[in-house]
Amino acid sequence: MSACGQGAVIYAPTPLPPDTSPIAYVHPSGAFQITVPRTWSAFSQYLPDLASASFAMPNSVEPVLTITLLNLVDMPDIATLLNTYQAEVRPDVGRYTEIERQAMGDGSWRLIGFRTNIGGVGQAVNTFIQTYGTVISISEIILTQPDNPTLWRTLEEAVNSLQVNNPSSLSPTTLYNAQKTATNPLHLTTVHIWTTHTGVMFITGMIQNASDMPIGGVPIYAGITNGEGAVVKGESGQVLGYAIPANGFMPFSLRFGDGRPIDAQNYTITLGGGGWNPLSTTPRYYGEAYFTVNSQRTDTPEGTVIITGEVTHIGADIVRDPMAVVTIYDNQRRVIATAFTLIKEGVFMPQAVAEFSFNITELGGTPTFHLVTVQALPEIP
């Protein structure tokens, strides 16, 4: 018989479940409010002539609901309004097909459609348009989980809760201004898929941060799908650099060492996930304003691109671990290669100079020009 030790019995209270009850979101302009789950994150725009807000579920930056409000100089009849928006104004014109439109009991119109995203993946979209005098609201629901009835009910309830409060805060404009709506702080601006002569496949591109705060540690995932939409290969990584500057850009590169799957048809790119929250990842870092960079590019006969240069710290603060990120473009401004290197490990003093070097052997095209971005961390984390 084995001996059993005795110890204190500790009673721990059962943790309360997270509060998922709805909350009233009021746009910073005061122009509208809407009720959404309190666990959803919001990304708002407030321009003189446009008010918008996009909402994403936890651990995601991809919006499931976007509200845009405009105060029109000239309000056309509803048929002209709908036709103009669908044919000329939608942000996905050219990738969108209208399936059906319905007049709703509250005076709004529901436009049911289907769009093709970057990578060729389809997405169901419901757009609700309603007028309030000279004001128009455009509510777009993205059906990311078409088989989830609970999510669909939540989205419908949110749209039905929309309340226009103070449209006079918006300057009169035209319907075409709806094209300025930004649906989340992070955008894929370019994507390039290419394969090396040895069969390695890359997906490279550029991410834009449309917010007024830097965002760091951005996870990125690319999934290669077959004709049935099943993922047959995936790779994860992180957007390069310590942070994407406010209203700035940083590159990414995902390498598929086994090459392109034989049954590959389309691809999806996902930003975020895995518990990452863009609202809690505002990093402390030093950006381009603190450094001057000189660089030169040499293209060897063997196809290697060599980029060398030096960095001068022109700021007043001591920084540490300065990093250089190089992005190489072709004549179509596609990202054909990108890489990073630690310029110096440890502290980097004001007025100090350090050198860097890149040897790029895997390229997705003919290099036309390159950019080198330098970032560093605070001396004390």
Specify whether the CB–CB gap between 291 and 342 falls below 8 A: no
Please provide the CATH number assigned to the domain covering 22-180.
3.40.1000.10
Cα distances (Å, whole numbers) of residue 352 to 103, 108, 323, 345 = 67, 62, 14, 13
Q: Which of 273, 210, 272 is nearest to 244 (CA)?
A: 210
pTM: 0.68
Predicted pLDDT at 181: 86
For the segment 38-61, the average pLDDT, to the nearest whole number, is 86
Predicted pLDDT at 36: 94
State in Å, rounded, how far the first CA of the chain is from the last one. Answer: 54
Tokens found for residue 338: 């990108």
CATH 3.40.1000.10 intervals, the chain: 22-180
Distance between CA atoms of residues 319 and 333, nearest Å: 32
H-assigned helices in 63-112: 78-84
Instruction: Report residue 8's pLDDT band, with 50, 70 and 90 as the boundaries.
Output: very low
For residue 15, is pLDDT > 80?
Answer: no
Fold of 288-378: Immunoglobulin-like (2.60.40)
Predicted pLDDT at 77: 95
Q: 186-280 is classed in which CATH architecture?
A: Sandwich (2.60)
Work out the angle at residue 102's Cα, subtended by the Cα atoms of residues 101 and 103, and round it to the nearest 5 degrees: 135
Distance between CA atoms of residues 138 and 129, nearest Å: 5
Question: Which pLDDT tens digit goes with each residue over 141-177?
Answer: 998 777 788 899 999 999 999 999 977 789 999 999 9
For the segment 126-140, the average pLDDT, to the nearest whole number, is 96
Question: Which pLDDT tens digit goes with each residue over 95-122?
Answer: 899 999 999 999 999 999 998 876 667 7
Instruction: Report residue 371's pLDDT band, with 50, 70 and 90 as the boundaries.
Output: very high
CATH 2.60.40.10 intervals, the chain: 186-280, 288-378
For residue 17, is pLDDT > 60?
Answer: no
Higher pLDDT: 203 or 229? It is 203
Specify whether the CB–CB gap between 256 and 231 falls below 8 A: no
Predicted pLDDT at 109: 97
H-assigned helices in the chain: 78-84, 149-160
Distance between CA atoms of residues 170 and 133, nearest Å: 13
Instruction: Report residue 26's pLDDT band, with 50, 70 and 90 as the boundaries.
Output: very high
Predicted pLDDT at 5: 34
